[in-house]
Amino acid sequence: MPIGATVRRLFGPFERPVADFYRGCFVDLDRQVAQLRTWVPDARSILEIGCGEGAVTQKLVAAYPHAQITGIDITPRAGRLFQGPRDRVDFKCMTAADLAAERPGAYDLILIFDVPHHVPWNLHEAIPADARTLLAPGGTFVLKEWELIRNVGHVMCEFSDRVLTGDDVRFGEKAYFEGLLERSFGAGAVAASARIRPWPNNPMVQCRRQAA
């Protein structure tokens, strides 16, 4: 049984700063969103797939002040720790496939950060496929994932993911995820990539949907 939620509740009003500190041991979200803005300086309709409790969403609101942002997750706790303008942010407990059936082509920027290693391997092809359906022509999809590079950071990450979430996590390599993207978006769709500090295990990849 996962113990993460129980442990976090023990921190009471300090839960959010503790969660932010813990997350910062693995990835610098400020640098991640800053890199995102160099690729996509402006966006009006943003979808975050697997938004969790709203840590990245919190950064997106400040980085894209003119955007309407939707965060989806299969957990009913989606956006639980978000603190910001609710008139521009909407959290939904639903899958990307369900949203794609409702709102195809609705978003000009779609993000999925640190989610695939929690998803069963045989379902990975659906991630970029659903994103492509949800993207407007000319829109941008950005995937950031923890890569399997065997170092101290990976040992810490895998241990904490397995113990705190209880998920049977599995990690892949950057080339594997780029292949997933190109099978959905087409050869040459991967436009740029970067690595986010503090660990080299943090590749972020940008691809675009061809304009109509």
SS3 assignment, position 101: helix
Whether the per-residue pLDDT at 25 is higher than 60: the answer is yes
Question: Which residues does 123 contact at the CB level (< 8 Å), separation at least 6?
Answer: none
Per DSSP bridges, beta strands 190-195 and 203-208 are antiparallel
The CATH number linked to 29 is 3.40.50.150
Whether the per-residue pLDDT at 196 is higher than 60: the answer is yes
User: What's the rounded mean pLDDT across residues 123-133?
Assistant: 96
* pLDDT of res. 17: 86
In this predicted model, what pLDDT tens digit does every residue of 49-97 receive, in sequence order? 999 999 999 999 999 999 999 999 998 889 998 988 889 999 999 999 9
**How many domains is the chain built from?**
1
Whether the per-residue pLDDT at 1 is higher than 50: the answer is no
SS3 assignment, position 28: coil
- 138: its two tokens: 């000319």
Smallest Cα–Cα separation from 116: which of 62, 178, 68, 71?
A: 178
SS3 assignment, position 5: helix
Whether the per-residue pLDDT at 205 is higher than 90: the answer is yes
User: What's the rounded mean pLDDT across residues 171-183?
Assistant: 96
Question: Which residues does 183 contact at the CB level (< 8 Å), separation at least 6?
Answer: 125, 128
Structural domain including 110 reads 4-208
CA distances from 62 to 46, 181, 191 (A): 13, 28, 25
* pLDDT of res. 210: 85
3-state helix, strand, coil in the chain (%, to 5): 40, 20, 35
Q: Which amino acid is at 126?
A: A
Q: Which residue has the higher pLDDT, 129 or 165?
A: 129
